[in-house]
Every structure is written in structure tokens, then in C-alpha cells.
Amino acid sequence: GAVVSQHPSWVICKSGTSVKIECRSLDFQATTMFWYRQFPKQSLMLMATSNEGSKATYEQGVEKDKFLINHASLTLSTLTVTSAHPEDSSFYICSASPLRTENYSYEQYFGPGTRLTVT
Amino acid sequence: AQTVTQSQPEMSVQDAETVTLSCTYDTSENNYYLFWYKQPPSRQMILVIRQEAYKQQNATENRFSVNFQKAAKSFSLKISDSQLGDTAMYFCAFMKPTGTASKLTFGTGTRLQVTL
């Protein structure tokens, strides 16, 4: 159980175009989803936290108009990179936090990541 | 703000041997969670082990165990009987529990190579 998928797994787009990445919790409902960015050989940097039905909360230094996040349902969050440029090339990872239950463990379940290359 | 420090960028261990990865953190919180995540070459993040700060007993998951020293703010990971499949990046992470939106703060990672 607790599987998170991301689509696409990799994408190449031209500079100036927009690209959408989907994050889905397949077998559980997620109140909160998180979006991370990871550069080669570096750690995960949190970009934003999204809650179902409300606006995302962005970390300091992350451009909310460039990285649009929508959390339309308890199983789907999307990250849209608008007007992408080569410096946006990176590995984007989402994670999902399940609905709180009596034995809530605070574990986040991670998707497999999406490699974005902007040419 | 919390910080997590992993002072060993790379480590190597021979198959079947034991290795310990270090992690220290800085926080003023008393209640928190600590995690070790593994990221193999596939880049899928996998939870290795979790420790709740209010529990004195060190967490154990099969070949993986931690040495949690709350006063020293240290949280090391011991891997026993290392296997080739343990080759991966290992990230230590801190979480202050604030509900379902609790954020993870990751360390810089330790690249572990298991050799024959």
C-alpha cells in the first residue's frame, strides 16, 4: 500500500513552454502533498506544500507564478512549470501525507520523481 | 529553523560488514520525529527507519538500527550485514509534527557504496 505515482517520469520541453507534472496517491487519500526539487548529487529542497482545495504554501525563494501548484482532489496534485527555461531543468519529486488517523505516523510517501530537461 | 547535518559525503563498506552513517541536527523543539531515507540509483525515496523523539528506545528495522542521542542531538544509522542492494544515497531528515502538513528537513546526504 501507500503508493504514489508521478507522470511523466521524464519530459523534455523547449524553452518558453509550460509543462505539467502530476502526482497521484493511488491507494490512499492525501490531505497534503509536497513538491521537492533535487539537483544532481544534492539533497531534496522543499518547494511548496499543497493542501486539497486551498492555495499552496511556497517556500522562501520559490516563484509561485512560475511553479503553479493545484491540489484539486485528495488523490491528485499538479505542478506546472510555466515559461520553462534551462535553469528549471531538474528532478522534481512529490510526496503525499495521508489523512490523519488514530495511529498517524507522520510518514510521507514519495513518488518516483520526474526528470525535466528544458532545451 | 531546524538544520540537519550529515558530515560524511561518501562512505564505502564491504559486503557483509557493518557501517554507521552519522547525522546531527539542531532544534529547540522537544517533540519531533527523525527519519532515515534511502535513495537508490532509481531515485525512488524509500523510508528506512523512523524515530520518535519522546521514545528513548532506539528504533530497529531488520538490519537497520539507529543510535538516538537526544541530548547530543545525534541520530546515526547502523547497517549490519551490508548488501549490494544497500548501495544508495542516505538522507537523514527532521520533522516537527504539526499535523498532515508537517515538513521534512533533509540533510545533505551520504553516498554509500557497498563493495564485494
Minimum distance, in Å, between the CA of residue A34 and any CA atom of chain B: 8
Nearest-CB residue to B100 (from A46, A100, A113):
A100
pLDDT at A32: 92
Best A5, A32, A62, A108 member to test B by mutation, with max B CBs in 10 Å, is: A108
Ramachandran bin of A26, using left for φ above 0, alpha for ψ from -120 to 50, beta for the remaining angles: alpha
Contact B108 A97 (CB under 8 A): no
pLDDT at B99: 75
pLDDT at A107: 84
CB A16 within 8 A of CB A84: yes
Q: What is the mean pLDDT of residues B91-107?
A: 91
Q: What count of residues does chain A have? A: 119
Contact A106 B45 (CB under 8 A): no
Q: Is a pLDDT exceeding 70 seen at residue A53?
A: yes
pLDDT in tens, A19-49: 999 999 999 998 899 999 999 889 999 999 9
3-state class (DSSP) for residue B85: helix
For Cα atoms B19, B89, B64, give the angle at the middle one, nearest 5 degrees. Answer: 40
Contact B45 A93 (CB under 8 A): yes
Q: What is the mean pLDDT of residues B84-110?
A: 93
> What CA–CA distance (Å, rounded) separates B68 from A23?
33
Q: How confident is the model at residue B3 (pLDDT cuts 50, 70, 90)?
A: very high
Contact A108 B42 (CB under 8 A): no
DSSP string, A25-74: ESSS-EEEEEEEEE-TTS-EEEEEEEETTS--EEPTT--TTTEEEEEEET
Q: Is a pLDDT exceeding 90 seen at residue B1?
A: no
Best B100, B103, B111 member to test A by mutation, with max A CBs in 10 Å, is: B100
pLDDT at A103: 66
Ramachandran bin of A110, using left for φ above 0, alpha for ψ from -120 to 50, beta for the remaining angles: beta
pLDDT at A31: 84
> What CA–CA distance (Å, rounded) separates A40 from B11?
18
Nearest-CB residue to A106 (from B33, B42, B44):
B33
> What CA–CA distance (Å, rounded) separates B73 from A107?
21
pLDDT at B109: 97
Of B46, B24, B50, B29, the C-alpha closest to B37 is: B46
> What CA–CA distance (Å, rounded) separates B104 from B47?
12
pLDDT in tens, B13-64: 999 999 999 999 999 999 999 999 999 999 999 999 999 999 989 999 999 9
> What CA–CA distance (Å, rounded) separates A98 from A75?
10
Cell numbers representing residue B47 in the block: 523510508
pLDDT in tens, A66-104: 999 999 899 999 999 999 999 999 999 999 988 776 666
CB B60 within 8 A of CB B80: no
Contact A106 B43 (CB under 8 A): no
pLDDT at A2: 87
Contacts of B49 in chain A (CB under 8 A): none
Contacts of B44 in chain A (CB under 8 A): 110, 112-113
Q: Is a pLDDT exceeding 80 seen at residue A105?
A: no
B interface with A, Cβ–Cβ below 8 Å = 33, 35, 37, 42-47, 50, 91, 95, 97, 99-104, 106-109, 111
